[in-house]
A and B are shown apart, each in its own frame.
Chain A
Amino acid sequence: MNEHITIWVRMVLENLESDNDSVFVYVDCENADGFTETVYINPSELLKGIIESDTAGMDGQIQGENKYKDKNPT
């Protein structure tokens, strides 16, 4: 039951406010009532993973895996 979808959105993190900016993700479906989740975007926290992997030479995702590989990298 714990299936997931991964959607990426290209963002300029440097332009975001560290505390105020958040993304609202609303999920709805035919057989249940919808749900809104607020995701707080903390640029330094997000970039920390990349910096750590750069310094340690890591080759892989740190959290989860991208099930749906994108065919049109933009």
Chain B
Amino acid sequence: MANSTYNKTEMNRLQRILRRLTTKRMKIPYKVVFYLLFIFAILLSFLSYFSLLGCDSQAARLIQILTGLAIAATAVIALSNADLPKSKIQSQVKAYIAPNNTGEETYHKKELSDELQEFYRKCSDTFKSYRVQFKITNTSSFNWINPVVTFRLPIKGQVPNRDNRPKTITDPVYTIKKYRSNTFNTQTNVRLLEMIE
């Protein structure tokens, strides 16, 4: 009974030592190599204990091998420290319309070109566009260095726009559709906003 308790304590101590030897952020291949080296060293020690103990030349060779393994383990730790895995970004994105900043714009279908009228056929004769706010919150445990934000937006949400060509009275007011955003006024580290579609 006392022996099994002693063994458990020893096992726990060994586990604690092994946990301390590798860092949490060590990549899996490094961990595998490190533990293999450790197991190999233990096996060699047992082999020497049961068969080769007492033989000076074998003992010297064993010490040499163990020293080599220790050097290899040190090299693995050094390599893994130089090649740490990247952290993962954690963020929360919330879409909403701010009641005091709706940016509401009204369009009449008769002001649209034929192509746009076809595009907005689902809408009523008078429809509106709004500023949809996307609040991106950094929930990671670290600061983002030079973040890049990319949006992929649905085609159908585009708003009617005027083109710069000179117009006559009979020409429609809105002839093109596109997205508009406040990204150019954002004074943050966001250095690029790529809009697809």
Contact = CB atoms under 8 A, between A and B. Distances in A.
Interface in A35-74: 35, 37, 39, 41, 46-47, 49-50, 53-54, 58-64, 66, 68, 70-74
A62 B136 contact: no
Interface residues of A, number: 55
A11 B130 contact: yes
Given A34-B89, A70-B182, A70-B185, A26 B130 contact: no
Given A8-B131, A25-B150, A72-B185, A39 B87 contact: no
Contact of A12 (B102, B141, B152, B159): B159
Contacts of B99: 49-50, 53-54, 58-62
A33 B187 CA distance: 23
Contacts of B89: 27-29, 32-35
Contacts of A39: 93-95, 134
A35 to B, nearest CB: 4
B133 A66 contact: yes
Given A17-B156, A29-B146, A68-B185, 10 more contacts: A7-B149, A9-B132, A12-B127, A24-B151, A27-B136, A31-B145, A35-B91, A37-B93, A68-B188, A72-B182
Interface of A: 1-17, 21-35, 37, 39, 41, 46-47, 49-50, 53-54, 58-64, 66, 68, 70-74
- Give 5 closest A-B pairs by Cβ, nearest first: A53-B99, A24-B152, A29-B144, A11-B157, A35-B89
Interface of B: 86-103, 105, 119-120, 122-124, 127-154, 156-160, 179-188, 190, 193
18 contacts: A2-B138, A4-B138, A7-B193, A8-B133, A10-B131, A11-B130, A14-B127, A23-B153, A28-B148, A32-B89, A46-B96, A54-B99, A60-B100, A61-B101, A63-B96, A64-B135, A68-B186, A72-B182
